[in-house]
Amino acid sequence: MATTKAEKEKKSAPKNGGSSYGAADITVLEGLEAVRRRPGMYIGTTGVDGLHHLIWEIFDNSRDEAMGGFANDIEVVMLPNNMVRVADNGRGIPVDIHPKTKVSALETIMTTLHAGGKFGGEGYKVSGGLHGVGASVVNALSTYARVEVHRDGGKYEQEYKNGGKAVAKVKKLASSDLHGTITVFQADPTIFPTIEYNWDRIVNHLRQQAYLVRGLRISIIDLRDAKDIDDVGVFYMRELGMDAPSVTFYFEGGLRSLVSFQNKHLEPVHKNVFYVDKEVDDVQVEVALQYVDDITSRISAFANNIYNPEGGTHITGFKTALTRTLNAVNKGDSFTGEDVLEGLTAVVSVKLREIQFEGQTKGKLGSVEAQGATASVFGEAFAAFLEEHPDEARAIIGKATLAMKARKAAKAAKDSILRKGALDGMTLPGKLADCQSKSAEESELFIVEGDSAGGTAKTGRDRRIQAVLPLRGKILNIERARLDKMLASEQIKNLVVALGTAIGDIFDLSKLRYHKIIIATDADVDGAHIRTLLLTLFYRHFRPVVDGGFLYIAQPPLFKIRKGKEIAYAYSDEERIKFVGEEMPIEVEGTEEESESEPEEVEEEAANAKRKPKISVQRYKGLGEMNSEELWETTMDPTRRILKRVDIEDAQDADQVFDMLMGTDVPARKSFIQSHAKEATLDI
């Protein structure tokens, strides 16, 4: 019998499920091609975070020189055409031939993954570059890069294009009595969809770094709008004296200065900032702290100058020593960890030669030796500080004692309101119109302002997945309120019970009843104030809800536009103008314009009006002004609405803003309002 082509293919097919898999199927990515193919593996994302990460990687190399005592001056310049320039007065990257790669050490570092001075030897005792891939990754993700090295009496240069390939060998340009490295790079638009560097983000990050390396000068200059300055023959561009936005940071006080900066809107409990900087067992421990008249704690953790938002072993050691030391000084009842943390602002920084983090984000330090070293260094120094400063000691013990008394006084209220409610099935608040779904993943909670908006939202919602909780007026400002006072507020108690997570020491994110919590307030001053109060509550007491991406702000339309029988909604003045033009008046009920035109003109206008569809623009000031259908199709319908998710890009900045806006420092709040008055959108 003749065998068909299909039968031949069937007979020759492998027995492993129909797929061939051999050595020829293994893809080998040469050089930096792996970085370009999978950039997220090296910088996390190709979004705004990854874009700025390029700057941090190059800056970190310069900062590591400063940490080693080889540099004290770094300059970061934003140039036209999305170019960035980083210069330092360190030792300069070596330019001699590398014995293994047979090309210069500079080219090896810039074009080879896991090549650098951070993998042993004596190049760096301490560095923040855990993976040692920084410079080569930045080069790989750039369309153009150039490195200029000053060392050993010479000025050397090498350029790279097309994803990190060296244009030519390193060449000596001239003699030089300087020392240091200048790196220029231009991010690749085929890798990064949007290339827009944020000035405030850069300034805030580098300010923090200046605090962490005592005596380091960091300058940032914005020359993006300048011309013909992308290639100049100066080491530091600030020497040109150009009129451009710039800022310079230099903090001789180091972490002490950082604590003072974080407390600038708060009242200190004691004058002197505690500080220690000591090395033990090859771990350098640096701690600064000060207590303030507040009920929250602010502890910032760093390992090799990398911010650890989740803390880690060094924070565990610090807290243990803090509680033990204060209890040794105190003559009364023993403090708990909660008591000694209230009102504390502290920065804990450790530096290790070999460092381990938990996870890829470096958010939590895992090095075991850091715990014992921190506890030992801090505990010994803090005990000496309290003994040598009796006034400070009395003030700190008094603050912790007050916290202990408040904790004990609040315990009954917490137990009766929270533990009973969370564990024994306290009924949901009567104001809450709950949804039918029991799945938190698909359920949404709309927090609305007042019964009017609440009634409209309850009528217009999708009852299956959408719940509505109306608030009566403005909730309590919780910035300086203890938990027992908060829970005495019916409004806050209703919200806590509705969320299902409880609050305080029994908070449990896994019990969150809705995975979309949507703040929907009116577009006026009162609505903005209520929104700020709610954001303060969530930031201070439901932070995991914010960090988990569960908190949103609704964006209801500002205008309803009728054009004949057609209806459209505009969410901004720009959209309104796009629909109807600049001159179209906003509709105000109960008024009519009188015409002073001649009879013939009136007749002509009337005839034109018949031919053109009538246009009217209605301005919404509150959700209660909408009917249920309008509210559904503009603000609640998941297929058409606009929501803004609340994210925290910089927790320390956010903390300071809440301190200033919601705290007791009236002059600072007044100054902030005056400084930003022109940026406000007012509805007068």
In whole angstroms, what separates CA 557 from the centre of its chain?
Answer: 28
3-state helix, strand, coil in the chain (%, to 5): 40, 20, 40
Q: Are residues 289 and 234 in the same domain?
A: no
**Alpha-carbon Rg for the chain in angstroms:** 31
Q: Cα separation of 502 and 479, whole Å?
A: 18
Asked if 166 and 146 count as a contact pair (C-beta separation under 8 A), the reply is no
Whether 243 is catalytic:
no
Catalytic annotation, pick one of 277, 442, 526, 653: 526
Q: Are residues 354 and 375 in the same domain?
A: yes
Q: Where are the alpha helices (DSSP H) in 160-309?
A: 199-212, 255-262
Mean pLDDT of 668-673: 65
- Beta strands per DSSP E along 549-620: 551-554, 559-563, 566-570, 615-619
Asked if 143 and 186 count as a contact pair (C-beta separation under 8 A), the reply is yes
Residue 666 domain-assigned? yes
Q: How confident is the model at residue 676 (pLDDT cuts 50, 70, 90)?
A: low
Give the sheet arrangement for strand 283-291, strand by strand: 274-280, 283-291, 344-352, 298-303, 306-307
Weakest-pLDDT range from 58-67, 155-164, 420-429 = 420-429
Q: For position 308, which CATH number holds?
A: 3.30.230.10
Residue 44 domain-assigned? yes
Helix axes 369-388, 313-329, angle to 10 degrees: 30
Listed residues 250, 266, 294: the one ending a domain? 250
Asked if 346 and 287 count as a contact pair (C-beta separation under 8 A), the reply is yes
- Tell me what pLDDT residue 472 has: 82
Q: How confident is the model at residue 29 (pLDDT cuts 50, 70, 90)?
A: very low
Weakest-pLDDT range from 26-35, 309-318, 573-582 = 26-35
- Tell me what pLDDT residue 163 has: 79
- Tell me what pLDDT residue 79 has: 93
DSSP one-letter code for 636: I
The residues, any chain, with a CB within 8 Å of residue 291's CB and separated by 6 or more, are 268, 269, 270, 343, 344, 345, 395, 396, 399
Whether 655 is catalytic:
no
Give per-residue pLDDT as tens, 251-282: 988 899 999 998 988 899 999 999 999 999 99
Instruction: Look at residues 146, 217, 220, 144 and name the one whose alpha carbon lies nearest to residue 183.
Output: 146
Q: Are residues 290 and 200 in the same domain?
A: no
Q: For 275, phi and psi rounded to 5 degrees?
A: -150, 140
Asked if 180 and 188 count as a contact pair (C-beta separation under 8 A), the reply is no
Mean pLDDT of 317-343: 94
Maximum average pLDDT range among 23-37, 134-148, 525-539? 134-148
Q: Are residues 302 and 243 in the same domain?
A: no
Q: How confident is the model at residue 212 (pLDDT cuts 50, 70, 90)?
A: very high
Catalytic annotation, pick one of 33, 157, 462, 524: 524
Residue 22 domain-assigned? no
Number of domains in the chain: 3
Q: Are residues 438 and 535 in the same domain?
A: yes
Listed residues 250, 268, 294: the one ending a domain? 250
Residue 640 domain-assigned? no
Mean pLDDT, the chain, integer? 83
Q: How confident is the model at residue 587 (pLDDT cuts 50, 70, 90)?
A: low
Residue 684 domain-assigned? no
Share of the chain above pLDDT 90, in %: 48
Please count the residues of the chain.
684
Q: Are residues 174 and 317 in the same domain?
A: no
Listed residues 250, 271, 297: the one ending a domain? 250
Asked if 449 and 521 count as a contact pair (C-beta separation under 8 A), the reply is yes
- Tell me what pLDDT residue 14 has: 45
Q: For position 519, which CATH number holds?
A: 3.40.50.670
Is 281 strand, coil or helix? coil
Whether 526 is catalytic:
yes
Q: Are residues 230 and 362 in the same domain?
A: no
Q: How confident is the model at residue 16 (pLDDT cuts 50, 70, 90)?
A: very low
| DSSP conformation letters of 5-67 | HHHHHHHHS-SSSS----GGG-----TTHHHHH-THHHHS-SSHHHHHHHHHHHHHHHHHHHH
Catalytic annotation, pick one of 65, 73, 449, 659: 449
- Tell me what pLDDT residue 240 has: 83
Strands 73-79 and 83-88, sheet pairing: antiparallel
Q: Are residues 246 and 260 in the same domain?
A: no
- 540 has pLDDT over 70: yes
The half-sphere exposure of 134 on its side-chain side, counting CA atoms within 13 A, is 22
Q: Are residues 355 and 463 in the same domain?
A: no
Asked if 480 and 294 count as a contact pair (C-beta separation under 8 A), the reply is yes
Whether 152 is catalytic:
no
Residue 623 domain-assigned? no
Is 513 strand, coil or helix? coil
- Tell me what pLDDT residue 665 has: 61
Greater model confidence, 100 or 78: 78
Instruction: Look at residues 351, 58, 310, 307 and name the one whose alpha carbon lies nearest to residue 205.
Output: 307
21: left (phi over 0), alpha (psi -120 to 50) or beta: beta
| DSSP conformation letters of 304-373 | TTEE-TT-BHHHHHHHHHHHHHHHHH--SSPPPHHHHHTTEEEEEEEEESS--EESTT--EE--THHHHH
Q: Are residues 278 and 241 in the same domain?
A: no
Asked if 537 and 551 count as a contact pair (C-beta separation under 8 A), the reply is no
Q: Cα separation of 411 and 406, whole Å?
A: 8
Is 241 strand, coil or helix? coil
Residue 23 domain-assigned? no
C-alpha torsion angle, residues 443, 447, 453, 455 (rounded to 10):
50
- 529 has pLDDT over 90: no
Give per-residue pLDDT as tens, 371-410: 999 999 999 999 999 999 999 999 999 999 998 988 887 7
- 5 has pLDDT over 50: no
- The tokens of 547 are what? 């960090």
- Tell me what pLDDT residue 61 has: 92
Catalytic annotation, pick one of 57, 60, 479, 522: 522
Cα–Cα–Cα angle for 598, 604, 609, nearest 5°? 125
The DSSP H or E segment spanning 149 is strand 142-151
Q: Are residues 308 and 164 in the same domain?
A: no
Residue 298 domain-assigned? yes
Q: For position 226, which CATH number holds?
A: 3.30.565.10
Q: Cα separation of 215 and 102, whole Å?
A: 38
Give per-residue pLDDT as tens, 591-636: 334 444 455 555 555 555 556 677 888 888 778 788 899 999 999 9
Instruction: Look at residues 309, 314, 304 and name the one whose alpha carbon lies nearest to residue 371.
Output: 314
* Burial annotation 388-403 (CB, 10 A radius, 16+ → b, else e): ebeebbebbbebbbbb
- 119 has pLDDT over 70: no
Strands 298-303 and 306-307, sheet pairing: antiparallel
Q: Are residues 376 and 268 in the same domain?
A: yes
- Structural domain of 242: 33-250
Integer angstrom CA distances of residue 261 from 275, 300, 649: 15, 13, 19
